[in-house]
Amino acid sequence: MSTKPHSVDLYDTTLRDGNQALGISLSLKDKLMIAEKLNELGINYIEGGWPNPTNTVDTEFYAKVKKMKLKAKIAAFGSTKRPGNKVSEDPFMQALITTGAHVATIFGKSWDLHVKKVINTTLEENLTMINDSVRFLKKHFDEVVYDAEHFFDGFKANPEYAMKTLLAAKDAGADCLVLCDTNGGLLPDEAVEIFRVVKSKINDAKFGVHMHNDSGCAEASSCLCVIEGASHVQGTMNGLGERCGNANLCTIIPNLQLKRGFNLVTPEQLKMLTPASLYVAELANTTPNIRHPYVGEAAFSHKAGAHADGVRKVRRSFEHTDPETVGNSRQFVVSDQAGASTILEKLSKIKSGLDKKDPIVKKVLAKIKEMEAAGYQFEAADASFELIVRKVFGEFKEPFTVKAFRVIEEKRESGETYSEATIQVIEDGVLEHTAAEGDGPVNALDNALRKALLKFFPSIKGVKLDDYKVRVLDGKDGTAAKVRVLIESSDKLSRWGTVGVSENIIEASWIALIDSLMYKLMKG
């Protein structure tokens, strides 16, 4: 085992392997913006995609990214030459060269099953393909990274041949030999055992690892191999990738840096990790996983009263690391399991200097318990919670009053459903009466409310409704059941959640909508 931290290169393949994930399709602009963010984060290598005659986005990426003058090295990805082709005439080899990138990363077959049954060639021909391809690319690139595809499975099936494929790449001048768990079924003990054997047999090469997460072990296996001596680790932001995804760099980086002392990025760059994770999720049009280690919204959230009380007294009693080191923040969740300590911690962000025995804390707690008994939950509705607190403190005066609203739903002969909302709002004694259409009753209400308020409060124009969820609280009551509506809103600066509860889904939605705009106006 490696006794002390060594230099390790971070290699990101979000733009290629991550883009192969189900439901992900990054545009050229998305790729360039993510590349810039990865560069800021301190990633050493950014794999841009697989340039080939049919992939114009990836081909154009390499032309555009040159002009950005990033510190990170840009890697062009491809495969070895095809069986029967001359390496100098292989179109995929030529496509790599035309990128103008300084690094080429190619994969080759390590598993004899793939050689014989997938690419339908001989074991000897495959070794020639690897050697010739690496040797040819070394004439045109500063570095050549060789990804030994399916290496661990290949080693388990035929270790002697798997080793020959690595030697074919090494002898041709490959700068790094990357052992890949392409199927993602490897367990950490197997990863360490095989890595040790390979490193003992080829002790004069630079090794890297590339893990997929089909067994849920990609990050663990990656970290253990780095600790064993790998000096190059591949992964993606948020673990995006084929099937169950790739090793998540948002977990690997802090694990190695904070737990094992590796100097991968600067402390300032490490603090950018959570914002970068959210940034990539936004551009990839994916919902951030709140339970991701380190960067998830729930990673440092405390719900149980005993946990919250412990964290207030000694942070490390229920936290494995400081959330601020990775740009995240601590959250104390208000729920039916919360006690005075949780309330006090959340109140301290709103009003400092409060004591646990302060009557105002008990008053807020009683109000929250009363509302939760009626079906409210505030885990994801901090904005509604703060509005309640401000009202209890006497620090919030509602900026407008809704006198009445009406919603019309009409099914027309054409089959089209028509939604219209009419609303009466009073602001500073002035009555505004307006109507608006929408894609459904809630959207019509939202449109009508904004239309009525815009002349008084222009700032609400920037508010966007990002998510809308409905939960039936007790199904046994059928269509008369109480429902809880959770709305997530945002502007260019922040995001916030609000909640409404009623037997009437329109009223529950209305309560959450009103809270959303009230919160925006309170914050300014």
**Full DSSP string of 271-320:** TTHHHHHHHHHHHTT----TTSTTTSTTTTEE-SHHHHHHHHH-GGGS-S
CA distances from 289 to 247, 297, 340 (A): 15, 8, 29
- Are 437 and 418 in contact by the 8 Å Cβ rule? The answer is yes
Render pLDDT for 440-466 as a digit per residue (tens, 0 to 9).
Answer: 999 999 999 999 999 899 999 999 888
Phi, psi of 265 (to 5 degrees): -140, 170
Considering only residues 72 and 416, tell me which one the structure prediction assigns the higher pLDDT.
72
For residue 321, what pLDDT is reported?
94
For residue 187, what pLDDT is reported?
98
- Distance between CA atoms of residues 258 and 183, nearest Å: 29
For residue 341, what pLDDT is reported?
59
Quick one: angle between helices 218-228 and 188-201, nearest 10? 30
Q: Which of 180-189, 253-262, 304-313, 415-424 has the lowest mean pLDDT?
A: 304-313
Check whether 2 has a pLDDT greater than 60.
Answer: no
Quick one: angle between helices 340-350 and 359-373, nearest 10? 110
Tokens of 88: 């100098």
Burial class (CB in 10 A: 0-12, 13-18, 19+), 498: buried
For residue 161, what pLDDT is reported?
98
| Average pLDDT along the chain | 90
Task: Report residue 278's pLDDT band, with 50, 70 and 90 as the boundaries.
Answer: confident
Query: How many residues are present in the chain?
Result: 524
Phi, psi of 94 (to 5 degrees): -65, -40
Mean pLDDT of 237-256: 98
Provide CB contacts within 8 A for 222, sequence distance 6+: 209, 211, 233, 235, 247, 252
Check whether 338 has a pLDDT greater than 70.
Answer: no
Task: Report residue 373's pLDDT band, with 50, 70 and 90 as the boundaries.
Answer: confident
Q: Check: pTM over 0.75? Answer yes or no.
A: no
For residue 415, what pLDDT is reported?
81
CA distances from 340 to 107, 200, 361, 363, 484 (A): 57, 58, 7, 10, 25
Check whether 169 has a pLDDT greater than 90.
Answer: yes
Classified by CATH at the fold level, domain 401-523 comes out as Double Stranded RNA Binding Domain (3.30.160)
Q: Write the DSSP symbol of residue 256.
A: I
Mean pLDDT of 32-53: 95
Tokens of 327: 């740009």
Q: List 302's β-bridge partners, or say none.
A: 332
Check whether 18 has a pLDDT greater than 80.
Answer: yes
Mean pLDDT of 296-309: 70
- Distance between CA atoms of residues 150 and 247, nearest Å: 15
Tokens of 483: 């429902």
Q: How many helices (H) and strands (E) does the chain have?
A: 19, 16
CA distances from 83 to 94, 108, 147, 263, 495 (A): 16, 12, 18, 42, 53
Mean pLDDT of 121-143: 98
Task: Report residue 144's pLDDT band, with 50, 70 and 90 as the boundaries.
Answer: very high
CA angle, 451 as apex, 448 and 452 as ends, to 5°? 90
Could you tell me where in the chain the CATH 3.20.20.70 domains are found? 9-283
For residue 304, what pLDDT is reported?
56
- Are 191 and 226 in contact by the 8 Å Cβ rule? The answer is no
Check whether 306 has a pLDDT greater than 70.
Answer: no
Q: What share of the chain is helix, strand, coil (3-state, %, to 5)?
A: 45, 20, 35
CA distances from 310 to 14, 318, 472 (A): 38, 7, 34
Task: Report residue 311's pLDDT band, with 50, 70 and 90 as the boundaries.
Answer: low
For residue 285, what pLDDT is reported?
81
Render pLDDT for 94-103 as a digit per residue (tens, 0 to 9).
Answer: 999 999 999 9
Could you tell me where in the chain the CATH 3.30.160.270 domains are found? 401-523
Tokens of 171: 């002898």
Mean pLDDT of 112-137: 98
Check whether 388 has a pLDDT greater than 70.
Answer: yes
For residue 298, what pLDDT is reported?
86
CA distances from 138 to 9, 49, 95 (A): 20, 19, 15
Work out whether strand 417-427 and strand 430-438 pair parallel, antiparallel, or are unpaired: antiparallel
Q: Does domain 9-283 have CATH number 3.40.30.10?
A: no
Torsion of CA 256, 261, 262, 265, to 10 degrees: 90
- Are 180 and 150 in contact by the 8 Å Cβ rule? The answer is yes
